[in-house]
Structure 1
């Protein structure tokens, strides 16, 4: 993985020798104190897949995923000297990723998340109307997610789609764990109310 001022050549290859045993926080400190490019490469390599997995459900476009992943890592590199280890590096990077996703969402004024699993929906039964019903269901899920407030939507994506714990999601969103649990509950309630006819 190579880094320049305006671009990153993304690569998820094997780690550099001698760096695989270091924690993310140790790698960040090593980069801060010595400007070690190998430490930076290893940090980006470790988190490439997870950053992409958070971005993709929000944009559903491979080209945009690549662009936004580049933006995440460029922002992280520019801000890395300010990282003080008060939160885990992964949480710090997830916050940057989420900010990039929110910026993208604001630009397009819509949320492009496809997540039937978020509300426990079963697939329609096989039959001649299955394709049409599936399309209608997908549209209703998108509309339901778009109707959620940004905080409720974030709670669903982070905990159900990204499989973060409520504690991790709360840390990322800057709220208490109790508040995050309420957001998850309220988001599910609103989605299930909207999709009640499909849950029967």
Structure 2
């Protein structure tokens, strides 16, 4: 149903219906923003990069053939936007990646991609501590391992979609997930 709805909206948008594309943006912006935020760890940059990804998607939409789901195609564009941005930052930083982009900031609990409910203060504190530990552990992963973990465990994408987004083989995705999980386990058990 979801993919069929996207396909219909894409067809309309390709025919020039900007409202259909706006519906696609509204439907997918939370997941795209959350994926990018998990990679760049900066709210303002994440919003800018998400907007850039949607602009690129709009420009490339006439070429979209529907061989993959629209959401997979959009994640792939977002992946490319983030990696282009990271490369530019690395070049501008004399070959050094700015550690702040990996350590600073947290996911906004009020973001549209997270459910909102009021927990008891002790539960909220425990969740906050666990979230901090998980975010710190994920930040210690390489870019490639962090990306597959976020796409699989946060976004809930299947291996094939991750392979399409990252332009890797299914075996590479499975291997990266395996090693990323082992590294996370090692990091979290040494605390």
TM range (shorter): 0.5 to 0.7
- Cα deviation, residue 40, structure 1: 1.6
Counterpart for residue 162 of structure 2:
169
Give the drift of 1:195. Answer: 5.0
56 and 186 in structure 1: CA distance in 2 versus 1, 3 angstrom threshold? same
Describe the superposition over 1:74-94 as per-residue Cα deviations: whole angstroms up to 9, x where unpaired.
111111111011111010001
Corresponding residue for residue 23 of structure 2: 42
What 5-or-longer segments of structure 2 have no aligned partner? 91-96, 108-121, 123-128
Structure 2 vs 1, CA of residues 28 and 141 (structure 1 numbering), >3 Å: closer, same or farther?
Answer: same
The answer to whether 1:62 aligns with 2:43 is yes
Q: Which runs of 5+ in 1 are unaligned?
A: 1-19, 116-125, 127-132
How many Å apart are 1:29 and its aligned residue? Answer: 1.9
Give the TM-score of the pair, scaled to structure 1: 0.65
**8 A Cα contact 2:139 2:146, kept in partner:** no
CA distance in 1, matches of 2:47, 2:150: 20
Measured in 1, the distance between the counterparts of 2:48 and 2:17 equals 25
Deviates more, 1:62-71 or 1:106-115: 106-115
Root mean square deviation, CA, Å: 3.2
Higher RCO structure, 1 or 2 (CA under 8 Å, sep 6+): 2
Q: Given that residues 138 and 146 in structure 2 are in contact (C-alpha distance below 8 angstroms), is that contact kept between their aligned partners in structure 1?
A: no
Q: Which residue, out of 141, 146, 156, partners 1:153?
A: 146
1:108-131 Cα offsets, whole Å, 9 max, x none, are: 52552679xxxxxxxxxx9xxxxx
Does residue 73 (structure 1) correspond to residue 54 (structure 2)? The answer is: yes
Higher percent of residues as helix: 2
1:112 match: 102
Q: Distance in 2 between matches of 1:138 and 1:74?
A: 32
